[in-house]
Amino acid sequence: MEKILEAPGGIQIEGENREVTILMVDIRGFTRMSATLPPSGIVALLNEVFRNVVGAIRAHGGTIDKYIGDMVMAVFNAPLDLEDHACKAVAASLDIHDRLGELNRERARRHQSLIEYVVVAHSGTVTAGSIGTPDRLSYTVIGQTVNVASRLEAVAKQREIPLLVSDSTWQLTHGMFEGEDLGEVELRDYGYPMKIWRVFRSAQS
pLDDT digits (tens, 9 = 90+) for 145-197: 999 999 999 999 999 999 999 999 999 999 999 999 999 999 988 878 999 99
Pairing between strand 163-166 and 116-133? parallel
d(CA 131, CA 137): 5
Q: What is the mean pLDDT of the chain?
A: 92
**Residue 184 resides in a domain:** yes
pLDDT of 5 reads 43
Model confidence, pTM: 0.91
Name the strand (E) or helix (H) holding 174: none
Q: Taking 50 as the threshold, does the pLDDT of residue 113 lie above it?
A: yes
- Where residue 11 falls among pLDDT bands split at 50, 70, 90? low
Find the domain containing 125 and state its range: 13-202
Q: Pick from 120, 146, 119: which is nearest to 131 by CA? A: 146
**Residue 5 resides in a domain:** no
Domain total in the chain: 1
pLDDT of 166 reads 98
pLDDT of 22 reads 99
**Residue 21 resides in a domain:** yes
| CATH number of the domain enclosing 63 | 3.30.70.1230
**Residue 8 resides in a domain:** no
Q: Taking 80 as the threshold, does the pLDDT of residue 12 lie above it?
A: no
Residues 2-23: b if buried by 16+ CB within 10 A, e if exposed: eeeeeeeeebeeeeeebebbbb
Name the strand (E) or helix (H) holding 88: helix 85-109
Main-chain phi, psi angles of 58, to 5 degrees: -70, -30
pLDDT of 205 reads 60
Q: Taking 50 as the threshold, does the pLDDT of residue 14 lie above it?
A: yes
Q: Taking 80 as the threshold, does the pLDDT of residue 132 lie above it?
A: yes
CA distances from 137 to 1, 11, 33, 121, 132 (A): 11, 14, 34, 26, 5
**Residue 44 resides in a domain:** yes
Please state, for a pLDDT cut of 90, what percent of the chain lies above it. Answer: 82
**Residue 138 resides in a domain:** yes
Q: Taking 70 as the threshold, does the pLDDT of residue 44 lie above it?
A: yes
Question: Span 74-93, mean pLDDT?
Answer: 98
Question: Span 97-126, mean pLDDT?
Answer: 97
Q: Taking 90 as the threshold, does the pLDDT of residue 9 lie above it?
A: no
- Could you tell me which residue, 26 or 2, shows the higher pLDDT? 26
- Bridge partners for 180 per DSSP: 198
